Amino acid sequence: METLGAFALLLAFCLSIYAFAASVSGAVWKKPFLIVSGRRAVYAVFALLSVASGILIYALMTSDFRFAYVAARSNKAMPAVYKFAAWWGGQEGSLLLWSWLLSFYSAVVLWTNRKKHRDLLPWVIAVLSFTQIFFCTLNVFVEPAFQMLAVGKGVQAVPDGNGLNPLLQYWLMAIHPPALYLGYVGFIVPFAFAFASLVTKQPGEQWIATTRRWSLITWGFQSMGIMLGQGWAYAVLGWGGYWGWDPVENASLLPWITGTAFLHSVMMQEKKGMMKIWNMVLISATYFLCIFGTFLTRSGVVSSVHAFAQSSLGTWFLGFLCIGMVVTTFLILRRLDYLKSEAQLESVLSRESSFLFNNLILLASCFAVLWGTLFPVITEAVMGEKITVGAPFFNKVNIPIGLFLLLLTGVGPLIAWRRSSWESLKRAFRWPAAGMFLTMAVLGALGIHHAFALISFGLCVFVLVTIAMEFWKGSRAIAAKNQMNLVRAMFELTHRNTRRYGGYLVHMGIVIMFIGYTGAAFNKDTTKEVRIGDRFQIGRYDLHVKSVSDGDNPNYSWQRAVIGVYAGGDYLGDLQPERRVYAASQQPTSEVSIRRRLNEDLYLNFASMSQTDADKAIIQAYVFPLVSWIWIGFYILMFGTLVCLIPSKVKYSYAKTQVVGVYARQSETAK
Amino acid sequence: MKTYLRFGVLVAAIIGTLAWLAASGINESKTYYKTISELKQLPASESGKRMRVTGDVVPGSIKRDGERVHFQIFEKEHNQTLNVVYMGKDPLPDTFRDSAQAMADGKLQQDGSFHANSIAAKCPSKYEAAPGKPAQQPLNPAKS
């Protein structure tokens, strides 16, 4: 069986090379049969990788410890869901998941476009296959998933495996890597179309229109992956944060930032035919950052606390990135003539300008995060000395950027295309600005003097009011015209232009997440060594240690503290933070206990037993104001993304005809 | 042309501000990676800088003294040991034991000892980097 798996991988590798070669030669020499065979090879790669993955999953589920991978990542005591999750629980398996997702996406792209874009598709296949060749190389030659333990020949039978890393045995963690990978891998598709349109000299709106939905879905998955990671860090790691600017986290954020910039700036190209080069650069950057992100997490090139492990993958990734970037840059430069802008910036006060600043600021943030992440590598190369920067650096740069973006989120959608006057701006932003200053005044009077927090809350209200006004104005008009009530009119309004109003919903989600993030300015924490019967305080809570008990089950042994929570004399319930030591790995973990409320979370972590006094437990208590709003905002964001994906009831064709006209004229002159 | 000039000024102002913030952020939080033997050779003037140093915990060297924890770390390559005093308030990680590989973050003192504000550690044999995920509690990322 293992031979079949390894063979399937090898065959997938060969067929990817074939798909690449056949598509490119078929497109160059105009040989349809080559193109068709290349297309079939892509389907075959998907089938083969599914077989390989299936075998690995089967081995995991049946605890076949002859497989080195299974012995290292799984054990008998783990619940079935984590046995399955062990597929992406280790280096080899998660690279296989990467390849499999890519082959799945490739097959879906080919199937949905089988009757369209005949000239583009061979080149799309070429890009997808080229990436697949690279990842298959890793799967087959560098990190093979089907290595067997020589049981009976020098190695004794393995009675039980090491088990999945305990920190990963949590439901969010079981779905976080696939979600993030769906995002990482998905950005390859828009890039492949962009690349194909460059090669075939059709840098118009075709590739953008085709991949708009892809980009959105991918962006949604990427957001989901990042948020699940935050939720996991918050609920499992026990230090009470959701974001620590760790290289691994940054790696997932980078393509998200450029992807967000891309989603915004394509609107400029669709509506005005501007920023064509820029969009090419953005989608290419997103693609390479996705590969780069995988590289960072897989190779341990930046030593963080998490990345003690080294690996030989680095050089492979660097080679692939270099080749890819050189080819893409060369191609963009060669096609500059086809990427000329069809309109010019006319005023600083215009929609165009707000998009421009949105992009500038997102890219600045991306650059700062990248710089901070690679700082040890850069300084080692330049100064011969490894220097790392911590959270203060990232916060210092990104908090102002975040606030500026928040402002643009409110201003951008309301400002007119081409040029806007101060007068119309004053009219449009009278109420939002009033809301902002009122909020700031009220909060200031209530004793909040944290400058960034005040600005942030003010801006959040500013944006929320603008969004509410947009919905209000639109639905009131529809309600009046069609004699329907306001709620129905709101649905009607959204359905008519899902892209616009879905976008507003996404913005709203982001704003609400910002409210949650701003709450971090008021976090409280304390660490206490306590014995049974002790009381201590944090914020408005009185905590009463009722009992400390222990026990075990086949997977882990545990110690649990039962802590009664009181506020102002009222009993609010018990929290039960727990410590576990997993039997297979002997790795201790914390199982935090959180009282989640809309205004604030009370968060208790059983850090350890005291080492000076065996009777005492060390409890870390935190109060996190407004954290729940991060997750609520995230749900709204996902909902808004889904709304964007629903086709609009009314097709807004006027903007398109204008652009198509310009495009047709231009392609005539190009000939 | 005037429009483009305005854009240029605005863009320059934004980038300038961010660059300034970035530079001050770097100065505030930069930490030098040093090996134990490198630390030993540093002049006294360097003692104010934040540093990060890694070594194996010398078995039996961990001693508690109230809130502080004294221990030694060892660098095989140059056969050097370093006295470390942990001054942080968070409990030490469970993985911090004899022979564990420990990373101390803090400052070198005039007397040649190292005062650490945070410690990260891994057991040499049991550790398996969680793929793509933080496999260990980050080094107090919220506070560092």
Condensed to tens digits (0 to 9), the pLDDT of residues A217-259 reads 999 999 999 999 898 888 877 777 788 888 888 888 999 999 9
Q: Does one domain contain both A267 and A355?
A: yes
pLDDT digit string (tens) for A448-505? 888 899 999 999 999 999 999 999 988 988 888 888 888 889 888 888 888 889 999 9
Task: Tell me the sheet residues that pair with B115.
Answer: B85, B107
Q: Does one domain contain both B47 and B93?
A: yes
Q: Does one domain contain both B36 and B17?
A: no
Specify the pLDDT at position A624.
92
Mean pLDDT, range A443-451, rounded to an integer? 88
Mutate to test the interface with A, among B133, B137, B139, B144 (most CBs of A within 10 A): B133
Mean pLDDT, range A606-626, rounded to an integer? 82
Q: Does one domain contain both B57 and B79?
A: yes
Give chain A's domain count.
4
Looking at the domain assignment, is residue B25 inside a domain? Answer: yes
Cβ of residue A161 closer than 8 Å to a chain B Cβ: no
pLDDT digit string (tens) for A592-603? 899 999 999 999
Minimum distance, in Å, between the CA of residue B11 and any CA atom of chain A: 8
CA–CA gap between residue A153 and residue A162 (Å, rounded): 21
Q: Does one domain contain both A509 and A533?
A: no
Q: Does one domain contain both A547 and A495?
A: no
3-class secondary structure per residue, A54-73: HHHHHHHHCCCCCEHHHHHH
Q: Does one domain contain both B22 and B59?
A: no
Specify the pLDDT at position A189.
93
Looking at the domain assignment, is residue A381 inside a domain? Answer: no
Residue type, A396: K
Cβ of residue A588 closer than 8 Å to a chain B Cβ: yes
Q: Does one domain contain both A75 and A152?
A: yes
Q: Does one domain contain both A548 and A483?
A: no
| Residue B138 to residue A237, Cβ atoms within 8 A | yes
3-class secondary structure per residue, B46-83: HHHCEEEEEEEECCCCCEEECCEEEEEEEECCCCEEEE
Domain range for A207 = 165-299+317-335+348-373
Mean pLDDT, range B69-75, rounded to an integer? 86
Looking at the domain assignment, is residue B7 inside a domain? Answer: yes
Looking at the domain assignment, is residue B44 inside a domain? Answer: yes
Looking at the domain assignment, is residue A385 inside a domain? Answer: no
Q: What CATH number does the domain containing B103 carry?
A: 2.40.50.140
Portion 197-216 of A in contact with B at CB < 8 A: none
Determine contact, residues A620/A525, Cβ cutoff 8 Å.
Answer: yes
Does residue B137 register a pLDDT over 70? no
Mutate to test the interface with A, among B137, B140, B143, B144 (most CBs of A within 10 A): B137
Which residue in chain B is spatially nearest to A580 when comparing CA positions? B94
| Residue B22 to residue A346, Cβ atoms within 8 A | no
| Residue B131 to residue A248, Cβ atoms within 8 A | no
Q: Which residues of B touch A397 (CB under 8 A)?
A: 18, 21-22, 25
Q: Does one domain contain both A585 and A449?
A: no
Q: Which residues of B touch A94 (CB under 8 A)?
A: 131-132
Tell me what the pLDDT averaged over chain A comes to: 85
Residue type, A620: Q
Q: Does one domain contain both A287 and A410?
A: no
Looking at the domain assignment, is residue B82 inside a domain? Answer: yes
Size of interface A-B (CB pairs under 8 A): 183
CA–CA gap between residue A263 and residue A166 (Å, rounded): 37
Mutate to test the interface with B, among A308, A401, A582, A616 (most CBs of B within 10 A): A308
Which residue in chain B is spatially nearest to A607 when comparing CA positions? B91
Q: How do B50-57 and B31-34 pair as beta strands?
A: parallel
Looking at the domain assignment, is residue A380 inside a domain? Answer: no
**∠A327-A331-A333 over CA atoms, to 5°?**
120
Mutate to test the interface with B, among A173, A303, A397 (most CBs of B within 10 A): A397
Looking at the domain assignment, is residue B14 inside a domain? Answer: yes
Q: What sign results for the dihedral spanned by CA atoms A416, A286, A303, A164?
A: positive
Looking at the domain assignment, is residue A309 inside a domain? Answer: no
Which residue in chain A is spatially nearest to B89 when comparing CA positions? A527
Q: Does one domain contain both A658 and A527?
A: no
Q: How many CB atoms lie within 10 A of CB A595?
A: 16
Determine contact, residues A527/B90, Cβ cutoff 8 Å.
Answer: yes
Q: Does one domain contain both A325 and A210?
A: yes
Give chain B's domain count.
2
| Residue A298 to residue B132, Cβ atoms within 8 A | yes
Q: Which of B7, B130, B142 sits opposite A167 (nearest CB)?
A: B130
Q: Which residues of B touch A303 (CB under 8 A)?
A: 33
| Residue B137 to residue A239, Cβ atoms within 8 A | yes
Confidence category of residue B141, pLDDT binned at 50, 70, 90: very low
Specify the pLDDT at position A661.
42
Confidence category of residue A155, pLDDT binned at 50, 70, 90: low
Task: List the one residue out of B112, B116, B54, B131 whose CA is nearest residue B85.
Answer: B116
Q: Does one domain contain both B35 and B104?
A: yes
Instruction: Indicate the helix (H) or strand (E) that contains A293.
Output: helix A276-299
% pLDDT > 90, chain B: 1
Domain limit, last residue, from A108, A138, A164: A164
Q: Which of B30, B126, B140 sits opposite A239 (nearest CB)?
A: B140
Which residue in chain A is spatially nearest to B62 when comparing CA positions? A611
Which residue in chain B is spatially nearest to A311 when comparing CA positions? B129
| Residue B138 to residue A239, Cβ atoms within 8 A | yes
What are residue A73's phi and psi, to 5 degrees? -115, -5
Mean pLDDT, range A294-307, rounded to an integer? 64
Does residue A307 register a pLDDT over 60? no
CA–CA gap between residue A272 and residue A416 (Å, rounded): 13
Looking at the domain assignment, is residue B95 inside a domain? Answer: yes
Q: Does one domain contain both B21 and B90?
A: no
Q: Does one domain contain both B87 and B113?
A: yes
Does residue A520 register a pLDDT over 50? yes
Task: List the one residue out of A283, A253, A254 whose CA is nearest residue A266.
Answer: A283
Q: Which of B22, B89, B142 sits opposite A391 (nearest CB)?
A: B142
Q: Does one domain contain both B36 and B7?
A: no
Q: Does one domain contain both B95 and B37?
A: yes
Domain range for B111 = 31-122
Q: Does one domain contain both B12 and B68?
A: no
CA–CA gap between residue A95 and residue A294 (Å, rounded): 9
Determine contact, residues A371/A388, Cβ cutoff 8 Å.
Answer: no
Q: Does one domain contain both B87 and B112?
A: yes
Q: How many CB atoms lie within 10 A of CB A4?
A: 12
Q: Does one domain contain both B43 and B63?
A: yes
Q: Which residues of B touch A395 (CB under 8 A)?
A: 25
Q: Does one domain contain both A548 and A508?
A: no
Mean pLDDT, range B38-61, rounded to an integer? 80
Looking at the domain assignment, is residue A306 inside a domain? Answer: no
Of A508 and A149, the one with more pLDDT: A508
Q: Which residues of B touch A401 (CB under 8 A)?
A: 18
Mean pLDDT, range A535-557, rounded to an integer? 88
Looking at the domain assignment, is residue A432 inside a domain? Answer: yes
Looking at the domain assignment, is residue A394 inside a domain? Answer: no
Mean pLDDT, range A329-353, rounded to an integer? 82
Does residue B135 register a pLDDT over 70? no
Of A514 and A276, the one with more pLDDT: A514
Minimum distance, in Å, between the CA of residue A580 and any CA atom of chain B: 11
Q: Does one domain contain both A531 and A478?
A: no
**With a threshold of 0.90, does the pTM exceed it?**
no
What dihedral do alpha carbons B99, B63, A236, A76 form, nearest 10°?
40
Looking at the domain assignment, is residue B133 inside a domain? Answer: no
Q: Does one domain contain both A60 and A182?
A: no
